[in-house]
Structure 1
Amino acid sequence: MNFKPITAYIATILFIAVSIAGYAQQQTAANDKYKNGMVVCAYPDAAKAGLDVLKKGGNAVDAAVAVQFALAVTHPQAGNIGGGGFMVYRSAKGVSTTLDFREKAPAKASADMYLDAAGNVIPDMSLYTHQASGVPGSVDGMVQAHKKYGRLKWATLVQPAINLALKGFKMTKRLAADINRSDSVFKSLNPGKKYLIGDRPWQEGDTLIQHDLGETLALIRDKGRAGFYEGKVAGLMIAEMKRGNGLFTRADLQNYHAVWRKPVIGTYKNYKVITMPPPSSGGIALLQLLKSVEPYPLHRYGFNSDSTVQLMVEAERRVYADRSKYLGDPDYYKVPVDSLLRPKYIKSRMQSFNWDAATPSASIQPGTFIGYESDQTTHYSIVDKDGNAVAITTTLNDTFGSKIFVAGAGFLLNNEMDDFSSKPGVPNMYGLVGGKANSIQPGKRMLSCMTPTIVEKNNRLYMVVGTPGGSTIITSVFQAVLNVIEFDMDMQQAVSAKRFHHQWLPDDIQSEAGALNDATKDKLVKKGYKLTKRGAIGRVDGILKTSTGYEGGADPRGDDTKLGY
């Protein structure tokens, strides 16, 4: 399998060229580079808000605060103040940390809260009801990030989002279509509310004004954390909970606090990878995946060749199996981080890999070690002129979260409770299974696949990357990193290239149209792999530090935009 005849090599190169050419960048040329800073995020107006902050002398964290609140206005599918997320930060001097502002289960939550009398999971209860919402963390996360690292005044950073909400902004074709698709659900779940509901279907270029959301943001601007977790907005949230028998209370809101955590750090060849620890499963999984494939000559195999795909898929099925058993909120469950990342353990997991045939997922179980005690999301990457870097992934869980608005406050509630294991072995909306480590407990943070990541080369900043996509987040970041390091792509090519995904269960390789050529598909099928077509996988946004400046990659699968100066 290590020998590649010259004809196959040429075919692989041609396939790479065709795949990348199919994704022309929408905003700027792929080789545009900027020396003073860059913002890459999911919506043009939010990117501009972040870039304006950088130009005013703000740092990467200042810009992140502006982008977070602007996305809550312009990208309601996932941008939020009613959700949560993770931040990976690296200072210009190389000091790194992470901030966990993931939502938490309310105090009234319980392990069996989504089961009926017979012990079966009640359909959609963890998705489209008031009981689906965890206690929001985004506002407290931004407050804490700014308090520790911010340079400009808080009010200056929130104001752009207020302007976008009260004065309105022009809708893209994609945003209009997404809102239109959810129109009937919005009306069904929000009687008497008119948020995102127009007199006619929305069209590209329409102006969207959100008065109540603007007033909520103004309170956050003026009162900081108290403008959301106390006072008027908190009262409106609790009233909304009571309307739908939701669970979180004023006490839950007051008791919510984001947590600073040490990053998980590993290496891939001569690169240092800084990423998110639990309750994200993404960081550990990414490092396991990179170490699993490190001994193999991926560059020689070629981008999305049969050997490359087979190797990556076999690593993915083993890593996702481990995820199902061992990963959860470290404040509630002993996560064996060191054991999972031990090179000897990772090597042992790949020993059953056979080039001649697929390893059935039914034969793969979570690994064991001595002494162990038992998709809609959005990402943004920012680097400032000093070299401070931020990778933030934030989410409501499903597109538009629970699709339930807080009356009078104008923002959407999350449905992150579905990310817990409602019942051991029963998959969530993304097909992921789990057990005790991710069971529901009061005050616990639900497991996540979010994988905001920063990569160093020779002790210097090299790459900032992340993506939305539910269970595909981990594999999308995995592929983007390898595209740059192994397949010599620039940042735009790396995020635009077609992707594939495997997550142990279900046992199939899901791929975007055109990701695998016919010859590759035939070889994989003959070895026993099941192939499934699917739509877009992830929306990766990244920044690459080159010798001539910052180079951005904005995923053309969305309205993602890269701006620099």
Structure 2
Amino acid sequence: MEKRIALYSASLFIALAIASCKTQSPSGSADSKVSQSQGVYQYRDEDPTVKPFFSDRQGVIGRNGMVASAHPEASQVGLTILQAGGNAVDAAVAVQFALAVVYPGAGNIGGGGFMVYRDNAGKAFTLDYREKAPGRATQNMYLDSLGNVRPGLSISGHLASGVPGSVDGMVEAHKRFGKLPWAQVLQPAVDLAQKGFALTVRDALGLNRIKTDLNTINPGKPYFLKSLLPTDTTTWHKGDILVQADLAQTLQRIQAQGRAGFYEGETARLLAEEMQRGGGLITEEDLRNYHAVWRNPLQAKYKNYNVITMPPTSSGGVALIQLMRFTEPFPLRRWGWNRDSTAQVMIEAERRVYADRAKFLGDPDFVNVPVDKLISPDYLRTRWTDFSFAKATDSRAVKGGTIPGYESLETTHFSVVDKEGNAVSITTTLNGGYGSRVVVGGAGFFMNNEMDDFSVKPGVPNMFGLIGNQANAIAPNKRMLSSMTPTILEKDGKLFMVVGTPGGSTIITSVYQTILNVIEHGMTMQQAVNALKFHHQWLPDKTIFENGAFSDATIQAMQSRGYVLERLTNTLGRMDCVLVRPDGSFEGASDPRADNTARGY
């Protein structure tokens, strides 16, 4: 049975929040600087020339279907499948495999992910195809004899990889909901690998950036290099054609044999041999034993919206619902986008949510994850009692909450909606950019470095700075915790939004802000994606923000209350979203921060 969380009743939590608004909110925040005209966001602040957007990109409008993904080639593949009569799941499977070819930094068959699916009748499903620890993994496998973490072992090289789940996940999704033949859905990816595709500027920069690692970790292999000579200075450029013959053969085995084309036979043998060659742990038995898991969707109300998202092993769904419930009682629309009180409520919610993530979240097949308690109004009320508008909460004083009886960055997202109203939200990953940097010899694909998403030692941060605890400790065949947050929203019972992003620990907060940008601040889908963002994750105790996300007045107000703010030189999020507009058409919104592209018809 689906897990449905009821609307707030007249709880003490809401009363507490309302009282806080009336008695503590700084007077400067009550005067809204936001106006809305026919649902389109308009921004006015101290400097009327300042815009809160990364770019002025406009959304793509379509009536019969929409695909938004990280790469223009992959989005075109999804659109082609929709136009050929495929449904949203067919298109999503095709996009997943196309991304494995054209976006090797994160698109993958050597990683894993999560799918949220809502059919046109309103029935929701979630699929967990997250990677697993190998059968020979041990809790202290990355520690030395003194119990200290051995740097780098969980991040690069063969020992960093978990058992991949992407292929099995796509097989399961297509078997249950697909419409077109499996072979037809995979053919575009095979063609891209066989014939090659033209690199974008970002494609070329990414491959050039990892050249040294490719030579070091994959000695003698030609993959993704123009030359095998370590001293060669030949670099990739925009427009160069990347052909991947071995990957094409791997995809053809999957095309012909389905699951067995990856988890058994030639590909399984090549993968196991690669692991043995480099000291990794994955065996052919691990591959045979891997299976994706259908889980009950996590659903909760936010005003007249219904949020459909991932349960654990993803931490994203629990965290997103906590954030939305912390936020709901406060008048963000009246205060205004990223004004001091708005940002303060959101940051304090994020601080508490990430502390809970560190303490409670893990693989539900191995540990008791108290989902119902974590998102209950009574529990959240206790987490909010030390909030004050007068000053920032000290993260050192914030721990994971107390629940009686409880036993103790490179990713990609795509969203698809078909003409029938079926919707898919998928976030998939290798973890770090290009994963472990290991390319499977003879098969031509990157392996993940997802083992770093475990808590390799309680209290020690992973590559994204996230702190973990015993609930996310390494164990054989266990799924590592994830921040991925693929999400679908309904409004008044009808499909409204499909949303998600990569970004490591910043995924949850980017999804959270993008949803609020539409619901509370009247932005279009593309404006919500373009909007500049910020992030807090409990530890380290600071708020990072994209340049321009906060006005000077907001920065001064926040700093006067003790908030540590750090302006980024890079960006947050790579959103790919779809919004159902009032007239029933679709707005596809792809992130201008990278090569993300929406295609509709």
TM-score (norm 2): 0.92
The residue that corresponds to 2:571 in the other structure is 536
Question: How far apart, in 2, do the equivalents of 1:10 and 1:564 lie?
Answer: 31
The residue that corresponds to 1:161 in the other structure is 189
Question: How far apart, in 1, do the equivalents of 2:445 and 2:219 lie?
Answer: 15
Quick check: 1:111 aligned with 2:147? Answer: no
Q: 1:82 aligns with which of 64, 88, 110?
A: 110
CA contact (8 A) 1:19 1:498 kept: no
Per-residue deviation at 1:7? 7.5
Quick check: 1:142 aligned with 2:174? Answer: no
The residue that corresponds to 1:474 in the other structure is 508
The residue that corresponds to 1:514 in the other structure is 548
3-state SS of paired residue (2:95): helix
Quick check: 1:120 aligned with 2:148? Answer: yes
The residue that corresponds to 1:417 in the other structure is 451
Per-residue deviation at 1:373? 2.6
Q: 1:216 aligns with which of 247, 250, 255?
A: 250
Question: How far apart, in 2, do the equivalents of 1:266 and 1:320 lie?
Answer: 19
CA contact (8 A) 1:281 1:449 kept: yes
**Mean alpha-carbon deviation: is it higher for 72-81 or for 262-271?**
262-271
Q: Deviations over 1:52-93 (max 9, x none)?
A: 000011000000010000000000110000000000000000
Per-residue deviation at 1:306? 1.0
Quick check: 1:550 aligned with 2:592? Answer: no
3-state SS of paired residue (2:33): helix
Per-residue deviation at 1:533? 2.1
Q: 2:346 aligns with which of 300, 306, 312?
A: 312
Question: How far apart, in 2, do the equivalents of 1:278 and 1:6 lie?
Answer: 38
CA contact (8 A) 1:339 1:345 kept: yes
The residue that corresponds to 1:402 in the other structure is 436
Question: How far apart, in 2, do the equivalents of 1:84 and 1:95 lie?
Answer: 24
Question: How far apart, in 1, do the equivalents of 2:574 and 2:533 lie?
Answer: 11
Per-residue deviation at 1:301? 1.1
Question: How far apart, in 2, do the equivalents of 1:372 and 1:222 lie?
Answer: 47
Q: What does 1:217-236 correspond to in 2, within 5 Å?
A: 217-236=251-270
Per-residue deviation at 1:371? 2.7
Quick check: 1:23 aligned with 2:55? Answer: yes
The residue that corresponds to 1:560 in the other structure is 596
Question: How far apart, in 1, do the equivalents of 2:208 and 2:554 lie?
Answer: 38
Taking a change above 3 Å as real, the CA distance of residues 10 and 284 of structure 1, as seen in their structure-2 partners, is closer
Per-residue deviation at 1:133? 0.3
Question: How far apart, in 1, do the equivalents of 2:109 and 2:405 lie?
Answer: 41
Question: How far apart, in 1, do the equivalents of 2:483 and 2:353 lie?
Answer: 12
Mark the runs of 5 or more structure 2 residues left unpaired by the alignment: 1-24, 36-41, 228-233
The number of aligned residues is 561
Q: 2:44 aligns with which of 2, 10, 14?
A: 14
The residue that corresponds to 1:98 in the other structure is 126
Q: Deviations over 1:300-323 (max 9, x none)?
A: 111111111111000000000000
The residue that corresponds to 1:253 in the other structure is 287
Per-residue deviation at 1:536? 0.9
Question: How far apart, in 1, do the equivalents of 2:72 and 2:226 lie?
Answer: 22
Question: How far apart, in 1, do the equivalents of 2:29 and 2:246 lie?
Answer: 63
The residue that corresponds to 2:484 in the other structure is 450
Per-residue deviation at 1:547? 2.1
The residue that corresponds to 2:6 in the other structure is none
3-state SS of paired residue (1:510): strand
Q: What does 1:490-529 correspond to in 2, within 5 Å?
A: 490-529=524-563
Question: How far apart, in 2, do the equivalents of 1:510 and 1:51 lie?
Answer: 36
The residue that corresponds to 2:20 in the other structure is none
3-state SS of paired residue (2:442): coil
3-state SS of paired residue (2:507): helix
Q: Deviations over 1:175-223 (max 9, x none)?
A: 1111111111111111011111114211111111111111110111111
CA contact (8 A) 2:356 2:399 kept: yes
Taking a change above 3 Å as real, the CA distance of residues 97 and 184 of structure 1, as seen in their structure-2 partners, is same
Q: 1:177 aligns with which of 191, 201, 205?
A: 205
Per-residue deviation at 1:33? 2.2
CA contact (8 A) 1:19 1:515 kept: no
CA contact (8 A) 1:90 1:96 kept: yes
Question: How far apart, in 2, do the equivalents of 1:17 and 1:218 lie?
Answer: 54
* Counterpart residue type for residue 148 of structure 1: R
Question: How far apart, in 2, do the equivalents of 1:6 and 1:18 lie?
Answer: 21
Taking a change above 3 Å as real, the CA distance of residues 180 and 285 of structure 1, as seen in their structure-2 partners, is same
Question: How far apart, in 1, do the equivalents of 2:549 and 2:526 lie?
Answer: 16
Q: 1:66 aligns with which of 77, 94, 117?
A: 94
CA contact (8 A) 2:34 2:336 kept: no
Taking a change above 3 Å as real, the CA distance of residues 432 and 22 of structure 1, as seen in their structure-2 partners, is closer
Question: How far apart, in 1, do the equivalents of 2:150 and 2:574 lie?
Answer: 31
The residue that corresponds to 2:73 in the other structure is 45
3-state SS of paired residue (1:277): coil
Q: Deviations over 1:11-50 (max 9, x none)?
A: 993259843454122xxx33x4211110000000000000
Question: How far apart, in 1, do the equivalents of 2:486 and 2:560 lie?
Answer: 36
Question: How far apart, in 2, do the equivalents of 1:46 and 1:259 lie?
Answer: 25
Q: Deviations over 1:134-170 (max 9, x none)?
A: 0000000000000000000000011100110110111
* Counterpart residue type for residue 547 of structure 1: P
Per-residue deviation at 1:369? 2.1
Question: How far apart, in 2, do the equivalents of 1:161 and 1:253 lie?
Answer: 22
Question: How far apart, in 1, do the equivalents of 2:296 and 2:560 lie?
Answer: 44
3-state SS of paired residue (1:542): strand
CA contact (8 A) 2:120 2:422 kept: yes
Per-residue deviation at 1:483? 0.2
Quick check: 1:439 aligned with 2:439? Answer: no
Question: How far apart, in 1, do the equivalents of 2:590 and 2:26 lie?
Answer: 34
The residue that corresponds to 1:132 in the other structure is 160
Question: How far apart, in 2, do the equivalents of 1:2 and 1:155 lie?
Answer: 60
3-state SS of paired residue (1:454): strand
Question: How far apart, in 2, do the equivalents of 1:9 and 1:285 lie?
Answer: 29
Q: What does 1:254-403 correspond to in 2, within 5 Å?
A: 254-403=288-437
Per-residue deviation at 1:375? 1.4
Question: How far apart, in 1, do the equivalents of 2:389 and 2:564 lie?
Answer: 16
Q: What does 1:477-488 correspond to in 2, within 5 Å?
A: 477-488=511-522
Question: How far apart, in 1, do the equivalents of 2:348 and 2:97 lie?
Answer: 39
3-state SS of paired residue (2:452): helix
Mark the runs of 5 or more structure 1 residues left unpaired by the alignment: none
Per-residue deviation at 1:5? 7.5
Question: How far apart, in 1, do the equivalents of 2:554 and 2:258 lie?
Answer: 54
The residue that corresponds to 1:238 in the other structure is 272
* Counterpart residue type for residue 508 of structure 2: I
Per-residue deviation at 1:372? 2.1
Question: How far apart, in 2, do the equivalents of 1:202 and 1:444 lie?
Answer: 38
CA contact (8 A) 1:424 1:435 kept: yes
Q: Deviations over 1:225-252 (max 9, x none)?
A: 1111111111100110111111011110
* Counterpart residue type for residue 434 of structure 1: G
* Counterpart residue type for residue 9 of structure 1: K
